[in-house]
Chain A
Amino acid sequence: MSDTPIIAIVDDDEAMREALLDLLDVAGFSARAFDGADAFLAEYVATPFDLLVTDIRMPGIDGIELQTRLRALGSSIPVIFVTSASDAPTLARAREGGAFAYLTKPISDECLLHQIHAALGRDDD
């Protein structure tokens, strides 16, 4: 793992993508945002992302399906879901797929950053 981990953000909502990018930036992370699972997967092969922060409800491949595909590709990248969907079945599917964390929108910045640090194996600073 490099010293500056690269975090991928996948969300179809532009305002949310920008907000997350700015939050991770001010917190000292390097991040790249994608407007959908397809765009992320296209980039994934070339870029060794350290963490994935993704929405669930998206057009095309949804966040949980994206996690499944990554596992199928042999990836063990930690996945943090940031979503409006808070129903039990969706939460269960996310867990079964090996999600690292599951946060419901609107998220607290502290909470997200804490989970990111934990996922990257760092202590909170």
Chain B
Amino acid sequence: MTEAANIPTPGASMAWWEFDMSAVRALIEALPAEEPIERELAEQLIAGIRVHDVNAVAAYLVGPFGGRDAMVGESVGRFWPTESQAVLAELLVALVNDQPEHRPRSHGITSLMLSDAGMTVRLKPDVTDIVEVTVRGIIHDHRSRWSLRASEERYQRLIQHLPYALVQVDATPMDPVFAALRRDGVTDIASYLAANPALVQQARKIVSVTGANRDAVKLFAAPDTEALIGPIGYLFAASPTTPHRLTIAHFEGRRSYSELMKLQRFDGEVRDVQLSATFPTAPERLDVTLLSFEDVTDRLSTETQLRRLQADHARAARISTLGELATSIAHEVNQPLSAIVTNAETSLRWLSRDDPNLPKIEQLTRRIADSAHRAHEIVQRIRAMAVRHAPERLPVDINEVIDEALLFTRHDIDSRSITLLVEREPCLPLLGDKVQLQQVIVNLLLNSIQAIAQAGPKGRIELRTRADGHEAFVISIRDNGPGIAPENLDRVFEGFFTTKDDGIGIGLAICQSLIIAHGGSITASNHSDGGALFQFSLPAAAET
């Protein structure tokens, strides 16, 4: 018979045993029949019985690794499930002491492995001291007790040694609370908790930690596992709103919940952890909710660094693009400029002669004027280049554009601890080019950020959108930098006008070109309370 054939399939089954009673006969005969037997005595009695034989089902259900061969000759007490030892002992005493008939006896038993279980004991005819025991029942779990126990041990070992801090929580005290809420018709738990915050406070007290693994002890800097056992409140000392969200997830019957939270260790240090909660569902043990905490403090700081590097890189790329642009602009403008200089100097040479060649000087002067015009054309072309394509005309939500522009500048704003205030009115959609409008806002924000950097700490930028009747809306960006010198107010939108050491002065010129291309207008002024104020208005899309 192969091993596989020994494995009983789920369903009705019968385990069969032969007990060798010789060692306990005297003990049994000293006991009164049909009387309850104390547990200790029952255990002692069963421990004295030897296994004479077993069938495959019995060996499989309660046997050790090695099956029947490892059972024969051993004490029955080693294998017989604790929960039915007392019943077995009583049946055996009744059977043996029932002189002279020795009628077979049967009784239902409680079993963790069988349902509708019952057993029958009878003396084997013609053989001394051998009792036949049969156990019938329906196997609902095809795993043997040995494999279940091994599985449980494996599970515990796994939990203990997992490289995550794991905490086992008994959340069942919340079940009657939730049941009551459902009876009262509560379905929107979030709203309910908002109105009844006491429920979460209650959960923090009645839901308890019942176990924790090694890494949890380490993460919390706790002296031992015992220190972690108790109401869950302490888990969320540095993250007081987490239990609120956990309660919602639990009530809604979600399988799991995860969030980034702060965890306060027993030594007071606060760490960033990724919390993952797994709520149990039948047939799992309902009193085991697992919470895992992954310490991500170092990873987060690496990510922050990485983000900073990326921002630096983006800024470097921006500068190098502008640098390249500046170089090619310089080259372009330098050509006519060189001709102007040489022509002017040649003219001076002619003029210094006794016989100046006036027609030549006139020609040179004309060339000087031509080259100067050419230089001007180049500058015009650069400005036009900034509006390289005709702007797209698609419906745009300006508030969405602002959100994206803020994303681009978020790092620059945050890293300088600039306070950003955004106030918006719902604005009508406009027809425009999202990317170009984004460029305008990014440019204006960067301008403000740089102006503030010159002014010192406590920077503040206010960005507002305001509907201007039905026709247009106005976006204003105000900073608390040094503002614009009055003599420069008229010139800020001129190409190549800059007050920055490293600026080439095309940012605002481009902004103006883009806004004009959108049919809008842009103005620069100084706010009465200080700082520069840039405002642009754009026409709203005609209603269709």
Chain B residues in 8 Å Cβ range of A23: 342, 345-346, 349
User: Is A118 an interface position by the 8 A CB rule?
Assistant: no
Contact of B343 among A19, A57, A105 (CB under 8 A): A19
B334-A106 in contact (CB<8A): yes
**What's the minimum C-beta distance from B49 to chain A, rounded to whole angstroms?**
99
Chain A residues in 8 Å Cβ range of B343: 19, 22
Chain B residues in 8 Å Cβ range of A20: 342
Chain B residues in 8 Å Cβ range of A22: 342-343, 346, 360, 364
A15-B346 in contact (CB<8A): no
Interface centre among A26, A27, A57, A108 (most CB of B within 10 A): A26
Chain A residues in 8 Å Cβ range of B331: 57, 84-85
User: Is A92 an interface position by the 8 A CB rule?
Assistant: no
User: Is B448 an interface position by the 8 A CB rule?
Assistant: no
Contact digits for B307-344, partner A, Cβ 8 Å, 1 yes 0 no: 00000000000000000000000110011111111110
Contact of B371 among A15, A108, A109 (CB under 8 A): A15
Contact of B337 among A18, A106, A109 (CB under 8 A): A106
Chain B residues in 8 Å Cβ range of A18: 339, 367
Give the nearest-CB partner of A19 in chain B: B342
User: Is B245 an interface position by the 8 A CB rule?
Assistant: no
Chain A residues in 8 Å Cβ range of B336: 15
Give the nearest-CB partner of A24 in chain B: B346
The A13-66 residues at the B interface (CB cut-off 8 A) are: 13, 15-16, 18-20, 22-23, 26-27, 57
Q: How distant is the Cα of A36 from the Cα of B128 in the complex, in angstroms?
A: 124
Chain A residues in 8 Å Cβ range of B338: 16, 19, 84, 105-107
B349-A19 in contact (CB<8A): no
Assuming A18-B367, A57-B331, is B342 touching A13 (CB within 8 A)? Answer: no
A109-B349 in contact (CB<8A): yes
User: Is B350 an interface position by the 8 A CB rule?
Assistant: yes
Chain B residues in 8 Å Cβ range of A19: 338-339, 342-343, 346, 364, 367
B346-A109 in contact (CB<8A): yes
The B335-388 residues at the A interface (CB cut-off 8 A) are: 335-343, 345-346, 349-350, 360, 364, 367, 370-371, 374
Chain B residues in 8 Å Cβ range of A16: 335, 338-339, 342
B335-A26 in contact (CB<8A): no
B364-A105 in contact (CB<8A): no
A15-B334 in contact (CB<8A): no
B349-A106 in contact (CB<8A): no
Interface centre among B338, B343, B350, B374 (most CB of A within 10 A): B338
Assuming A15-B370, A18-B367, A19-B367, is B342 touching A84 (CB within 8 A)? Answer: no
**What's the minimum C-beta distance from B365 to chain A, rounded to whole angstroms?**
12
Q: How distant is the Cα of A13 from the Cα of B364 in the complex, in angstroms?
A: 16
Q: How distant is the Cα of A18 from the Cα of B341 in the complex, in angstroms?
A: 12
A107-B339 in contact (CB<8A): no
Assuming A18-B367, A22-B360, is B340 touching A106 (CB within 8 A)? Answer: yes
**What's the minimum C-beta distance from B331 to chain A, rounded to whole angstroms?**
5
**What's the minimum C-beta distance from B346 to chain A, rounded to whole angstroms?**
5
B335-A105 in contact (CB<8A): yes
Chain B residues in 8 Å Cβ range of A84: 330-331, 334-335, 338
A108-B367 in contact (CB<8A): no
Chain B residues in 8 Å Cβ range of A13: 335, 339
Chain A residues in 8 Å Cβ range of B364: 19, 22
Q: How distant is the Cα of A85 from the Cα of B364 in the complex, in angstroms?
A: 25
**What's the minimum C-beta distance from B371 to chain A, rounded to whole angstroms?**
5
Contact of A108 among B330, B345, B349, B370 (CB under 8 A): B345
Give the nearest-CB partner of A20 in chain B: B342
A15-B345 in contact (CB<8A): no
Q: How distant is the Cα of A108 from the Cα of B338 in the complex, in angstroms?
A: 9
Chain B residues in 8 Å Cβ range of A85: 331
A107-B335 in contact (CB<8A): no
**Told that A18-B367, A26-B346, A84-B331 touch, could you supply 13 new A-B pairs with CB distance under 8 A?**
A15-B370, A15-B371, A16-B338, A16-B342, A19-B346, A27-B349, A84-B330, A105-B334, A106-B337, A106-B340, A106-B342, A107-B338, A107-B341
> Can you identify 17 A-B contacts, CB atoms within 8 angstroms?
A15-B335, A15-B367, A15-B370, A19-B338, A22-B342, A23-B346, A84-B330, A84-B335, A84-B338, A105-B337, A106-B337, A106-B338, A106-B340, A107-B338, A108-B341, A109-B345, A109-B346
Closest 8 CB pairs of A and B: A105-B338, A15-B339, A106-B341, A19-B342, A109-B345, A106-B338, A23-B346, A19-B339
